[in-house]
Amino acid sequence: MVVDDEPTVRFVCEAVVRHIGYSPILAVDGEHGLDIFGQLLHEIDLVIADVSMPKLDGIEMVRKMFEMKPHSNVILMTGYTPEQIIPDNVLKLCAALAKPFTVQQLTDAIRKCLEHDHHRG
């Protein structure tokens, strides 16, 4: 699932996810993302989310997602240095990408998260 309030970022992430063989689900903000996550809990393998969004920011959204599904795969995206803006207790549970990132960096992050999940079993 891709959660970002910026259409361009959503579009790029969607294209990358599709390109590597997955079917992305899109959400326009944290509330929307959390609603979809709750409905499709067992169908979502990975959440790619922006930190700064209206209604519900990415950090609060993923905290609530981890309450529903503790071993969720999450990549948080931020225009800031991830270590400065993402609390340690959330950062240790997620991968983080600083914007702007390349398509290759996003692809690598997705593969690393999903490979880690596969090995976790």
For every residue of 16-56, DSSP letters joined together read HHHHTT----EESSHHHHHHHHHHTTTT---EEEESS-SSS
User: Mean of the per-residue pLDDT values for the chain?
Assistant: 93
Which band of pLDDT confidence, cut at 50, 70 and 90, is reported for residue 50?
Answer: very high
pLDDT at 118: 56
Which band of pLDDT confidence, cut at 50, 70 and 90, is reported for residue 93?
Answer: confident
What are the distances in angstroms from CA 75 to CA 25, 35, 84, 108?
15, 18, 16, 11
More confident residue, 39 or 83: 39
Which band of pLDDT confidence, cut at 50, 70 and 90, is reported for residue 41?
Answer: very high
**pLDDT reading at 119 higher than 80:** no
Residue spans per domain, the chain:
2-120
User: What DSSP character marks residue 72?
Assistant: -
Place of tokens 């996550």: 37
Tell me the mean pLDDT in the region 71-91. Answer: 92
| CB-based contact 74:49 (threshold 8 Å) | yes
Which CATH fold topology does 2-120 show? Rossmann fold (3.40.50)
| CB-based contact 66:57 (threshold 8 Å) | no
